Amino acid sequence: MLERKIEIYIKNFFVSNEQKILIVDGARQTGKTFIIRKIGKSMFKNFIEINLLDDRLNDHYFEDVRSVSDFYLQLSSLYGSKLGKKDETLIFLDEIQAYPHLLTLLKFLNQDNRFTYIASGSELGITLFNTLSIPMGSIDVKHLYPLDFEEFLWANGVGKDFIAHCREMFLARKSLQPNFHKRMLELFQKYLLVGGLPEAVQSFVDNTNIATVRKIQKQIHNYYGVDASRYDLENRLKIRRIYDMIPSVLENKKKRIVVRDIEGMESKRFKDYQDEFDYLIASGIALDVKAISTPVFPLVETMSKNLLKLYLNDVGILTGILYKNNINAILNDERSINLGTVYESVVAQELKAHGFNLFYYDNKQKGEVDFLIDDYDSLSVLPLEIKSGKDYYVHSALDSFIKNKDYSVKNAIVFCNNATVEHENGITYMPIYYVMFL
């Protein structure tokens, strides 16, 4: 049974008796329903689960519910024997985006204070954006991503004391012992193959069968594509086209979306596809990295929306598309294979799971730096360069970046496969797995 960090957050939310309703948001197949069901059954005497997507497709019990009394009437007709006091009854509204009017109703259910509620949603970002009356003061939205690398380590039996030791070494900017480095790098390579989708991780832990893992990843990748096509009937082909383009675009030198390539039309501009980009990002199936040309803290003040990179939300899906069942590209460090795209994708996934907004440096004359994040401790910008090969000392754009006094850069990190932590010319070189501690 996989352990997730969000479980602590949810349990603390209930224990602290927050005067809000928690909504767990995230792409499909990231484990939302399983986690809420697990916690709900362990913490509450009465656990009631209502899948609103199933209801919309079949029984329509809650389709016309518009008031608290209407909701209670339907609830009592279906689950009357399970309804108890607030502190012993949890009502789980799964896939709440199926009925946007219930999002508005949450405010009034919260005020009525009769039961404890929790909700989950896929594509919730889009639904909230399109909901006229968002009950923001009554809800707390927590996003769930695929398993990050630390959660993957837990799933593979790595002890938390060892991880704590690795974290201490990272904070001290020190290298791990050679045998520890070898172990961590091997696990990181496996993470590149398996990714963080719970079903894929569990299958790998149980069977260590990459063919089965790939089958699961392909199925979920297809689910995401179907969902994208289903969302907006008028623009579904464009959404699906952009989504399917992501792996091939990442193989380009620039890695950013070129809008004229979406439909092969020179006249198209970024604004023509804004809704499609918004869907892919808000649904959680794509991770966005926005361009920064003047990198000053905080980065959000100078971002450009028109120069956009998109990564898939799970690195395992990406390596499945690129390499199928062949694991040698990852495990054997094949000379003919450039893993730059894969390494950047896993870093994007890791940083997003840790709550970072993602940016990259774009300058026509000086080149690009892979990632920029806000360093709130030093109130400055932290540039990150990701290197999969042996040329990790070569980074002319990063060199120019840190030399620019206007940017006030205090630190810079190059993540690579090197076993040792090194410091040179204002740059710290670190093993790639240390990204888990940012």
DSSP 3-state assignment of 275? helix
Q: Is the pLDDT of residue 136 over 80?
A: no
- 157, 242: one domain: yes
The predicted pLDDT at position 336 comes to 65
- 120, 153: one domain: no
Any domain includes 201 = yes
Q: Is the pLDDT of residue 233 over 80?
A: no
Torsion, CA 25, CA 353, CA 283, CA 52, rounded to 10 = -20
- 128, 244: one domain: no
Determine phi and psi for 385, rounding to 5 degrees.
Answer: -115, 135
The predicted pLDDT at position 128 comes to 66
Q: Which of 143, 159, 192 is the last residue of a domain?
A: 143
- Summarize pLDDT for 155-165 with one digit per residue, the tens: 999 999 999 99
Query: Rounded mean pLDDT of 68-87?
Result: 93
C-alpha–C-alpha distance, residues 396 and 86, integer Å: 60
- 127, 211: one domain: no
Q: Is the pLDDT of residue 295 over 80?
A: yes
- 99, 174: one domain: no
- 343, 412: one domain: yes
Q: Which of 133, 391, 428 is nearest to 438 (CA)?
A: 428
- 265, 219: one domain: yes
- 14, 65: one domain: yes
Any domain includes 341 = yes
Range of the domain at 42: 6-143
Q: How many domains are contained in the chain? A: 2
Output the CA–CA distances (angstroms, integers) from residue 234 to 229, 271, 275, in the order listed: 9, 16, 11
The upper half-sphere exposure of residue 175, i.e. CA atoms within 13 Å in the direction of its Cβ, equals: 17
Any domain includes 68 = yes
- 199, 286: one domain: yes
Q: Which of 97, 112, 143 is the last residue of a domain?
A: 143
Query: Rounded mean pLDDT of 126-154?
Result: 83
The model's confidence at residue 301, banded by pLDDT at 50, 70 and 90, is: confident
Residues 315, 246 contacting (CB under 8 angstroms): no
- Summarize pLDDT for 321-346 with one digit per residue, the tens: 999 999 998 988 776 678 999 999 99
- Summarize pLDDT for 367-397 with one digit per residue, the tens: 899 999 999 888 999 999 999 988 899 999 9
The predicted pLDDT at position 135 comes to 67
C-alpha–C-alpha distance, residues 285 and 264, integer Å: 24
Residues 316, 200 contacting (CB under 8 angstroms): yes
Residues 97, 121 contacting (CB under 8 angstroms): yes
- 302, 429: one domain: yes
Any domain includes 1 = no
Query: Rounded mean pLDDT of 308-321?
Result: 96
Residue with tokens 């100078």: 302
- Summarize pLDDT for 174-205 with one digit per residue, the tens: 999 999 999 999 999 999 999 999 999 999 99
The distance in angstroms from the start CA to the end CA of the chain is 26
Q: Which of 143, 169, 204 is the last residue of a domain?
A: 143
Any domain includes 241 = yes
Any domain includes 300 = yes
- 402, 264: one domain: yes
- 296, 201: one domain: yes
Query: Strand pairing partners for 303?
Result: 292
Query: What's 11's domain CATH number?
Result: 3.40.50.300
